[in-house]
């Protein structure tokens, strides 16, 4: 690979990360000690951060363009889950060497998704060390409208966007644990490498959803975060309603497909709860979306905080497999 020792930190930033601003609210962007931005009147700032480490979140075979895309996508997904409109981003880059081919592709992927969602890169930091990427995104919500994860109420209906389990299946295909049928490999790998943050849906859910979270660790693991610890609430999940892609159902048998859809991470769909009186409004505001959210169950009173799963009206028992990814959990 091409390595150019002449490119130092400053012209590296200039060359790859200083881009034209698409927003009128960036007063000072990349180049000064700090960025200055204008927060719109009557709005609150929402700030999220995610880190990707080589060997943990991706490996040497992951295309750098995908790493750039996904780094921004996972952050915009967190903003979407809060109901926030993305505005600005900041990138902390730790690189083992200056590899121009890698930087070209990585910054290309990062800029493409940033421009699409009009999220300006306004600053960052560049250091030498094991390949680690940290992105901080900021977005705005009208005062008091951010959607929290801990406000679900008993009686709320549970919804999820898009389809579940595809990224998890892609990972297992790439690792050689499973093999794909019917030529679905590329579309599945795209779901893993180029996730779509549900930016528009998140903002539509303001004032409609009681609570929302993005599915990054697996449906069951993230569902657990939606049930307030003291709330004495459980969930009834109807597996018949789980949105599963054709790629998933044609590759796996039904038990495996459910298990993956329930426990595999990296889907970046929105999981949210809607009170009975807002269901009609949800229908109306999402009627134009290509991937309409589907209702997969209901939040119920339950002191034991159980997740009860049914398939065709019968109790369904999960096969004994590993739950959602936990960086510090038992293997």
Extract the annotated binding site for ATP: 124-125, 149, 216
34 binds Mg ion (CB under 5 A): no
- The residue from 123, 195, 231, 243 that contacts ligand ADP (CB under 6 A) is 123
**CA 71 to each of CA 50, 51, 75, 221: distance values in angstroms, whole numbers, following the listed order:** 7, 8, 7, 21
Binding-site partner at residue 249 among ligand ADP, Mg ion, none, CB < 5 to 8 Å by type: none
- The residue from 17, 258, 268, 272 that contacts ligand ADP (CB under 6 A) is 17
Neighbours of 60 (CB within 10 A): 7
- The residue from 3, 22, 27, 32 that contacts ligand ADP (CB under 6 A) is 32
Beta strand pairing call for 233-238 and 307-311:
parallel
Neighbours of 189 (CB within 10 A): 20
Quote the CA–CA distance of 299 and 291 in Å, as a whole number. 23
91 binds ligand ADP (CB under 6 A): yes
13 binds ligand ADP (CB under 6 A): yes
3: Cα within 13 Å, side-chain hemisphere: 6
Residue among 168, 64, 159, 161 at smallest CA distance from 107: 64
- The residue from 63, 108, 124, 228 that contacts ligand ADP (CB under 6 A) is 124
Is 33 or 253 the residue whose CB approaches Mg ion more closely?
Answer: 33
End-to-end CA distance of the chain: 36
33 binds ligand ADP (CB under 6 A): yes
Q: Residues annotated as binding site for Mg(2+)?
A: 33, 49-50, 78, 125, 214, 217
- The residue from 6, 33, 42, 183 that contacts Mg ion (CB under 5 A) is 33
Tokens of 194: 């180029």
Binding-site partner at residue 177 among Mg ion, ligand ADP, none, CB < 5 to 8 Å by type: none
Query: 51-55: long-range contacts (C-beta < 8 A, 24 or more apart)?
Result: 51/132, 51/133, 51/134, 52/132, 52/133, 52/134, 53/130, 53/131, 53/132, 53/133, 54/130, 54/131, 54/132
Residue 7 buriedness (CB in 10 A; 0-12 / 13-18 / 19+): middle
For ligand ADP, which stretch binds (CB under 6 A), given 25-33, 131-139, 242-250, 282-290? 25-33
Quote the CA–CA distance of 331 and 326 in Å, as a whole number. 9
Binding-site partner at residue 283 among Mg ion, ligand ADP, none, CB < 5 to 8 Å by type: none
Angle between helices 100-116 and 64-81 (to 10 degrees): 30
For ligand ADP, which stretch binds (CB under 6 A), given 43-51, 53-61, 122-130, 153-161? 122-130
Is 123 or 197 the residue whose CB approaches ligand ADP more closely?
Answer: 123
Smallest distance, ligand ADP to C-beta of residue 119, A:
13
- The residue from 30, 140, 237, 282 that contacts ligand ADP (CB under 6 A) is 30
Binding site for ligand ADP (CB under 6 A): 13, 17, 30-33, 91, 93, 121, 123-126
**Binding region for Mg ion (CB under 5 A):** 33
């Amino acid at each position: 690979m091409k390595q150019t020792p002449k490119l130092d930190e400053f012209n590296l930033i200039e060359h790859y990360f200083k881009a034209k601003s698409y927003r009128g609210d960036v007063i000072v962007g990349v180049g000064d000690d700090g960025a200055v931005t204008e927060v719109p009147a009557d709005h609150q700032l929402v700030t999220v951060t995610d880190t990707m480490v080589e060997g943990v979140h991706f490996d040497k075979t992951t295309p750098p363009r995908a790493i750039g895309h996904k780094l921004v996508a996972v952050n915009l997904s967190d903003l979407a889950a809060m109901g926030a409109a993305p505005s600005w981003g900041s990138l902390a880059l730790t690189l083992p060497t200056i590899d121009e081919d890698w930087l070209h592709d990585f910054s290309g992927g990062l800029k493409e998704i940033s421009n699409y969602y009009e999220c300006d890169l306004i600053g960052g930091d560049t250091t030498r060390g094991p390949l680690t990427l940290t992105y901080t995104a900021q977005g705005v919500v009208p005062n008091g409208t951010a959607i929290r994860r801990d406000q679900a109420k008993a009686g709320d209906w549970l919804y999820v966007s898009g389809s579940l389990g595809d990224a998890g299946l892609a990972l297992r295909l790439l690792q050689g644990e499973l093999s794909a049928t019917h030529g679905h490999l590329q579309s599945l790998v795209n779901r893993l490498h180029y996730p779509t943050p549900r930016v528009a849906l998140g903002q539509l859910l303001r004032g409609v959803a009681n609570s929302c979270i993005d599915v990054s660790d697996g449906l069951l693991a993230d569902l657990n975060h939606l049930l307030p610890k003291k709330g004495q609430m459980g969930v009834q999940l109807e597996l018949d309603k789980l949105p599963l892609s054709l790629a998933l159902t044609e590759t796996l048998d039904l038990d495996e497909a459910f298990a993956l859809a329930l426990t595999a991470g990296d889907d970046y769909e929105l999981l949210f709860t809607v009170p009975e009186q807002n269901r009609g409004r949800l229908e109306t505001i999402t009627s134009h979306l290509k991937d309409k959210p589907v209702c997969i169950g209901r939040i119920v009173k339950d002191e034991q905080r159980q997740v009860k799963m049914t398939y065709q009206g019968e109790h369904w028992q999960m096969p004994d497999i590993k739950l959602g990814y936990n960086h510090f959990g038992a293997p």
